[in-house]
Structure 1
Amino acid sequence: MNTYDLLVVGSANADLVVGVDRRPAAGETVLGSDLVVHPGGKGANQAVAAARLGARTALLARVGDDGHGRLLRDSLDSAGVDTSGVLVGGAPTGVALITVDPSGDNSIVVSPGANGRLTPGDVRAAGELFAGARVVSVMLEIPLETVAEVARSLADGTRLVLNPSPPAPLPDEVLAACDPLIVNEHEAKVILGTELGGTQLGTDPEDWARRLLARGPRSVVVTLGSEGALVADAAGTRRVPSVKVKAVDTTGAGDAFTAALAWRLGTGESLADSAAYAARVGAAAVTREGAQESYPTAEEVAAYARHGGAL
């Protein structure tokens, strides 16, 4: 029997958030709101989102021996995440500098800090976590060599979910392990190499998915913002509709989507049904400020669906 429904291997950051009337252009200074510090990072966000939904969740990450690291560990503990794999030391805790405009859209600059010191050796030393996980989720806010070691460390029958954010070209061994690879349009361009010249990506998400599948993943999910998502595997493609809400803050919504999808896949749901559930979780998250603080429980997601988008 699996000890964990989901093992997340990834980043843990302190999110330093400032509200702005508009995001600054190059060389421009704008005034913003008071600074607010939230626990964040794609790895920690996914772990908290999954745990709040009821998944048995563990996190393998690295934080600094500082106040931001303690903030993150407290948030993870309070959500019920197993933090035995949260390593301490090597560098200050990673920091994300975030501006949020009145529409809820954000711009983010990340200083990796301790996230950049999560090594392949740390992955190899966490064998018990991998052996006990039904699904493993990973992202690219940690070194690519560490992501590759994650792909090599999967137990038999364990499913790997990868969101390549921030995007970078991926080794074939990593792509081949993905089930699914979750990308937006920008990430799809980077994985396919079209931003560096050559063949243009085009405007057809079904074509993006087919080309991504040809690179080796067992399945692909393309997120399309207000147009929902597209899921694709050897059986074909299927559209998943979006959930219409008034966004307050989109920070961490993609992490909530990925965590929810990974958890539901581990319960045996189909890729399309898992993505539809994840879309509801992500929609609920953007109606509240912050990342981890915004994540709904399973009961809230059910109520959200019953009442047409009102929590």
Structure 2
Amino acid sequence: MIDGQKIKDTRKKLGISQQELAQGITTQGTVSLLERNSTSPRGDILAKIIARLNLKLEDVVVDNEVLTAQRYLDEADKLSMNNQYEQALASLKKIEKLTDKEQEAHYLFIKTNAIMWQTRDFEDALFGFNRILQMRNKQDDVFTVLATCELGVVYLERGELDKASFYFEQVPNLLTNINLDDNVFWSLFIWKSLTTYYYRMKDFDKCAEILTKAEEFSNRHLTPVFVDSLYYTNALVLHDKSGKWTKEAIGYLLKSWSFATFSDNKRNIKKTSDILTEIGYLPK
């Protein structure tokens, strides 16, 4: 297996971006997946990337428990993305041992988030997300941002809007401390939660601003991750601002339905299908 963390650490040490590393070799998205141990590129591509980083093959080819754990963590990420929480938890159970501190935070985040939505037990979720903040000890990393954001989600679901705002309003500043391009999946996850918050607070302008940023970011990275959810929220914002289903709002609703169908996100398929059926775009 390829040690994506070694590639990532070397790239950062050399001060080059994922896009610069990929230039003339492959796509930035492939480099991002490689660094997260989510893909094994063709041998010629890997050879060129390694050469550009002044590394040897033996420097990045490993087979150990860290990479095995990462494979299951990435699997759980993808399942959680489509609200398949039971399957995500099953993937986490395959992990026998965690020795990497970042992986420990990753594991706890996925587990806490999955159980929260599966059981609606928000009290335990508060404990889990606060535990991540203690583990990271105020480090400027993506799991600090994720835990802070999801504490806002918990309080939003509990109807405690002042507490929800306390956490959500910290998130934009926290995001400036991480490299969004190195955390494509999580950046879109966080923006999805933020847009839900601003929509629920009826701050449609702020919601639309983040939706535009997320859509541009998604297009730049050529990823469909959470696109169905973002398009759905965009459709709701346009509907609520105008008080009716405009052509533009319906367009986003249709795009949300299409992406949800493509990714087999059953929850979003149902939500968009119900509205499209009600307004006559799908047969009853």
User: Same fold per TM (> 0.5)?
Assistant: no
**Greater helix content:** 2
Structure number with greater CO (CA < 8 Å, separation at least 6) is: 1
TM-score relative to the length of structure 1:
0.28
**Greater strand content:** 1
Larger Rg: 2
